[in-house]
Amino acid sequence: MDFTVTYTLAILLAALAVPLSINVTLQRIRVGKEMGELTAAAFGPHPDPRLTAAMRAHGNLMEYAPFALVLIGLAEFAGAQGTWIWTIALAFAGGRWLHAFAMLTNPYPPMLRGVAMLTTYLSMLAPAIFLAFTLTRAG
């Protein structure tokens, strides 16, 4: 078991998480400069829409990515292989990238975000179902 799918997914998600993190920092600095106090937006939410979008794009990824990595990693460990597990992992990564793009686009395209979230939900549900069936067969 080499966890190639899980490793690849982790890399794709990290490649998204780092720029989203940097974007939040840059937006906080921008708001601070505009307000004349660099730390004005250093903590917590702020009413600036670009900062809020940056925070939610980053936060949404961080809310879903760890759990999806665990689910896909466990499915891979339990024997999921081939095109199926690759499709699930790449769909999840694609959904997260699409969601970030939709959140940071102005004007905000709700249809893209909807497609991204549906992709996210399905690509988390699929390995969970696989694991449930694997567990019932083993018991």
Q: Can you say whether residue 111 is alpha, beta or left, with left for phi > 0 and alpha for psi between -120 and 50 degrees?
A: alpha
For the segment 2-15, the average pLDDT, to the nearest whole number, is 97
Residue 14 has which token pair?
């990290």
Mapping DSSP onto H, E and C, the string for 71-125 reads: HHHHHHHCCCCHHHHHHHHHHHHHHHHHHHHHHHCCCCCHHHHHHHHHHHHHHHH
- Distance CA(128)–CA(78), nearest Å, equals 11
pLDDT tens, residue by residue, 99-124: 999 999 988 889 999 999 999 999 99
Taking 90 as the threshold, does the pLDDT of residue 91 lie above it? yes
Question: Which helix (H) or strand (E) segment is 32 a member of?
Answer: helix 4-35
Q: The whole model's pTM is what?
A: 0.93
CATH code of the domain containing 92: 1.20.120.550
Task: Name the residue range of residue 48's domain.
Answer: 4-138
> How many domains, in total, are found in the chain?
1
Model confidence at 46, pLDDT cuts 50, 70, 90, reads: confident
